[in-house]
Amino acid sequence: MRLATLDDGTRDGTLVIVSRDAARCLPATGVPTMQAALDGWARAEPILRALSAGLDAGQGQVFDPAQCMAPLPRAWQWLDGSAFPTHGALMQQAFGLPPIATDRPLMYQGMSHRFLSATQDVPFPSEADGIDFEGEFGVVTDDVPMGCSAQDALGHVRLVVLINDWSLRSIAPIEMKTGFGWVQAKPACSVAPFAVTPDMLGDAWADGRVRLPLTVAVNGAWFGSPVGDAMAFGFHDLIAHAARTRDLPAGTIIGSGTVSNPDHAVVGSTCLSERRAIEMIADGTPVMPFLSFGDRVTMQAGDWFGTLNQHVVAGAS
């Protein structure tokens, strides 16, 4: 089942079910928003699946992904992991950092009151802040009780999404030195138009991982297509980690962190910072610049989630 949120002028939009070919949609009658669906999934899911069956039978209206907001335009929580060991190892080697001495998943809590749509321009105050993208997969949960085990956690995954976790690299090290985490370095993320149920992914969803290549292009040029199954911790581990000392409300989004593979020389990367780290390891200095105003970044993972296609623009300084 594939869900999206159409822009109706409100903060939360209107929930629709989208056909498998993304050509048609139906309003989710009785389930006005994505958050309402997640709050009452046991009641909402049969309604949504019945409507989805109608789409498969040829019902529905013409669907235009350009009219979409983010699937969940605002969320109760955005918890981002860093579950791909290759990415961390490259950054540590490039900057001479010691390995992080922990056997726990890495995670921070980011801005969640707004997620950008897949096509809107992304404003930043200054090019000097080191504008970067990060391609990630994410899951959206229903209510997760405190102490939920990793074994039970996948039963709380309701939707899978594709995310661009925008980052400002010049600000990040300054904030990291405070020991209090990121605020300015992590602006609003963008989310591809479709949120899909795990069953729709078939074999591409296994062991709490998305087994799909995440393809990134910058100004039309291929940048990378690493596969999402190289996570050291699956989403079930990330959910259990986040819920160890607190419950997670329905509408919590948990990210995988930057998708990265050991054979990065072949498959490329999903963020500029990783490419720059590879250049530093090889030649002692980075060559790849960060983004400039006017640059365009696209991301997709097959046809499952639709396409992120956005321009970087100058915002308020």
**Is pLDDT above 80 for 145?**
yes
pLDDT of residue 216: 98
Pick the more confident residue, 180 or 12: 12
Residue 72 resides in a domain:
no
Q: Structural domain of residue 309, as residue ranges? A: 77-314
Q: Are 273 and 172 members of one domain?
A: yes
Distance of alpha carbon 155 from alpha carbon 204, whole angstroms: 17
Better-scored residue on pLDDT, 204 or 100: 204
What average pLDDT does the segment 157-173 reach?
Answer: 95
> 30 and 138 in one domain?
no
When divided into structural domains, the chain yields a total of 2
Q: Has residue 299 got a pLDDT over 70?
A: yes
Query: Last residue of some domain: 41, 67, 93?
Result: 67
pLDDT category of residue 95 using cuts at 50, 70 and 90:
confident
Residue closest to 212 by CA, chosen among 196, 236, 193: 196
202 and 293 both lie in a single domain: yes
Asked if 35 and 98 sit in the same domain, the reply is: no
Neighbouring residues of 261: CB distance < 8 A, sequence distance ≥ 6: 84, 86, 226, 227, 230, 267
Q: 310 and 184 in one domain?
A: yes
User: Which one-letter amino acid corresponds to residue 5?
Assistant: T
pLDDT of residue 174: 87
Q: 195 with 283, same domain?
A: yes
Measured CA to CA, the distance from residue 152 to residue 143 in angstroms comes to: 12
pLDDT of residue 243: 98
Residue located via tokens 């950008």: 116
Q: What is the mean pLDDT of residues 47-56?
A: 92
> How many Cα atoms occupy the beta-carbon half-sphere of 78 within 13 Å?
25
* pLDDT above 70 coverage of the chain, percent: 99
DSSP state string for 60-115: SEE--GGGB--SSSS-SEEEEE---HHHHHHHHHHHTPPPP--SSPPEEEE--S--
- pLDDT for residue 128: 97
pLDDT digits (tens, 9 = 90+) for 221-248: 999 999 999 999 999 999 999 999 999 9
User: 149 burial class (0-12, 13-18, 19+ CB within 10 angstroms)?
Assistant: exposed
- What is the predicted pLDDT for the residue at 317? 61
* Tens-place pLDDT, residues 147-159: 999 999 999 999 9
Task: Give mean pLDDT, residues 102-118.
Answer: 93
Q: Band of the pLDDT at 309, cuts 50, 70, 90?
A: very high
pLDDT over 90 at 179, yes or no: no
Q: Are residues 197 and 215 in the same domain?
A: yes
Average pLDDT, the chain: 95
pLDDT value of position 126: 96
Looking at the fold, whether 240 and 105 belong to one and the same domain comes out as yes
Verify that 59 and 196 share a domain, yes or no.
Answer: no
pTM of this prediction exceeds 0.85: yes
Residue 37 has a pLDDT of 98
In this prediction, residues 126-146 reach a mean pLDDT of: 98
Mean pLDDT confidence for 22-38: 96
Q: Which of 67, 89, 121 is where one domain is finished?
A: 67
Do 179 and 299 fall into the same domain? Answer: yes
Q: What's the pLDDT score for residue 57?
A: 84
Task: For 253-294, write each residue's pLDDT tens digit.
Answer: 999 999 999 999 999 999 999 999 999 999 999 999 999 999
